[in-house]
């Protein structure tokens, strides 16, 4: 492990360091890894759209606080499904039919309240400047920081600071974004580009108003509490959790070269974490950074290829468990540093 204290290995394996090391793929292997299809993403998107209707239908059938709380969890799952679909579209790695690729990517972004083009521009910076000062995802994870930085970040999430930052990041053609040139969009053009988002959100409001049996005030209340509050607060909080597990440096880790900053992990998650935090193969993050144009549904096959080559894939043992171990190790190292 790169310059890490031996005691770190009592809680973390060497493999979990996670420095990205690209193996040699044959042309045939890369073609197989990047082969797209239409049926799987189309079914996944259709299921996502159907799931969006589940919370309002459930509230219509049985309006209660408990049904609303279950609806919040379902919506966070939906947000992550939509994000994975947008993510695949970012990399042109969703459908074999590229018209579907762009169209479905856009619609998935509308449910999250942003335009997929703005997300793509920001996400490209993440891949290009991974874990550096120019990484756009530093809003979610400062890889060199301790777990306490994540707690401070959660406070920002709670008070909508992160949601506002994300909204500004995802405005397309932002001239201030590193590596992105061009004029800032005019207000008229910006308003026009957000029209589809407003239309989709209006349809969602209607669904929740129907769930409240056409009581407008209660319907909007359902929408704000079950959909918007999770989207603006809880969803950013779990993005922060996931990003720290996928990219944070282990305690005691030191970067000697630029390559050392390129830390990426996949996650050996349990069924609950996969269901809520990482649906649609979201836990295969190391494999994605190795082959960024890999469709998410090919991730298990890419892992098989890597294992056959003898590649040791960095695997964190669960999202919450990884953070707990990191916090615990930081406390151990703090005590050791303070010992005479």
pLDDT, one tens digit per residue, over 65-119 is 999 999 999 999 999 999 999 999 999 999 999 999 999 999 999 999 998 888 9
Measured distance CA(220)–CA(227) in Å, rounded: 10
Measured distance CA(274)–CA(121) in Å, rounded: 27
The pLDDT confidence band at residue 258, using thresholds 50, 70 and 90, is confident
| Tens-place pLDDT, residues 7-57 | 555 567 767 888 888 888 999 999 999 999 999 999 999 999 999 999 999
Average of per-residue pLDDT across 249-278: 92
pLDDT at residue number 6: 43
Kindly tell me the burial class for residue 92, based on how many C-beta atoms sit within 10 Å of its own C-beta (0-12, 13-18, 19 or more).
Answer: middle
Average of per-residue pLDDT across 146-155: 95
Tokens for 229, please give them.
């509050």
List of residues 6+ apart from 98 with CB closer than 8 A = 92
Contact 149, 157 (CB under 8 A): no
How much is the pTM? 0.92
| Tens-place pLDDT, residues 223-233 | 999 999 999 99
| Tens-place pLDDT, residues 154-175 | 999 999 999 998 888 888 775 4
Measured distance CA(249)–CA(160) in Å, rounded: 26
Contact 157, 231 (CB under 8 A): no
| Tens-place pLDDT, residues 191-233 | 777 899 999 999 999 999 999 999 999 999 999 999 999 999 9
pLDDT at residue number 280: 97
Measured distance CA(26)–CA(23) in Å, rounded: 10
Measured distance CA(170)–CA(183) in Å, rounded: 15
DSSP, residue by residue, 303-334: HHHHHHTT----EES-HHHHHHHHHHHHHHHH
Kind and range of the H or E run holding 99: helix 98-112
Measured distance CA(235)–CA(158) in Å, rounded: 10
| pLDDT, mean over the chain | 90
Measured distance CA(232)–CA(159) in Å, rounded: 9
pLDDT at residue number 17: 85
């Amino acid at each position: 492990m790169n310059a890490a204290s031996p005691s770190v290995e009592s809680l973390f394996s060497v493999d979990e360091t996670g420095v990205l090391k690209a193996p040699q793929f044959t042309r045939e292997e890369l073609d197989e890894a990047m082969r797209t299809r239409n049926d799987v993403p189309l079914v996944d998107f259709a299921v996502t759209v159907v799931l969006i209707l589940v919370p309002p239908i459930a509230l219509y059938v049985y309006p209660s606080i408990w049904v609303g709380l279950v609806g919040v969890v379902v919506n966070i799952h939906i947000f992550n499904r939509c994000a994975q679909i947008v993510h695949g579209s970012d990399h042109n790695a969703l459908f074999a039919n590229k018209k579907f690729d762009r169209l479905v990517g856009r619609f998935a972004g509308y449910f999250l309240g942003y335009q997929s083009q703005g997300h793509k521009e920001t996400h490209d910076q993440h891949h290009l400047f991974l874990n550096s000062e120019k990484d756009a995802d530093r809003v979610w994870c400062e890889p060199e920081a301790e777990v306490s930085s994540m707690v401070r970040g959660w406070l920002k999430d709670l008070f909508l600071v992160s949601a506002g930052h994300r909204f500004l990041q995802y405005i397309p053609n932002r001239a201030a974004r590193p590596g992105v040139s061009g004029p800032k969009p005019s207000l008229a053009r910006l308003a026009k580009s957000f029209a589809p988002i407003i239309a989709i959100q209006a349809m969602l409001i209607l669904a929740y108003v129907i769930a409240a049996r056409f009581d407008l005030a209660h319907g909007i209340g359902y929408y704000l509490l079950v959909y918007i509050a999770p989207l603006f607060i809880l969803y950013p909080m779990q993005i922060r959790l996931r990003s720290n597990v996928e990219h944070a440096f282990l305690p005691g880790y030191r970067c000697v070269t630029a390559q050392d900053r390129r830390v990426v992990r996949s996650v050996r998650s349990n069924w609950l974490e996969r269901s809520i935090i990482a649906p649609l193969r979201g836990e295969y993050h190391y494999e994605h950074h190795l082959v960024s144009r890999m469709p998410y549904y090919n991730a298990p096959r890419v892992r098989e290829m890597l294992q056959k080559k003898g590649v040791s894939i960095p695997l964190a043992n669960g999202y919450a468990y990884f953070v707990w171990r990191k916090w615990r190790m930081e406390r151990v190292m703090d005590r050791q540093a303070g010992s005479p």
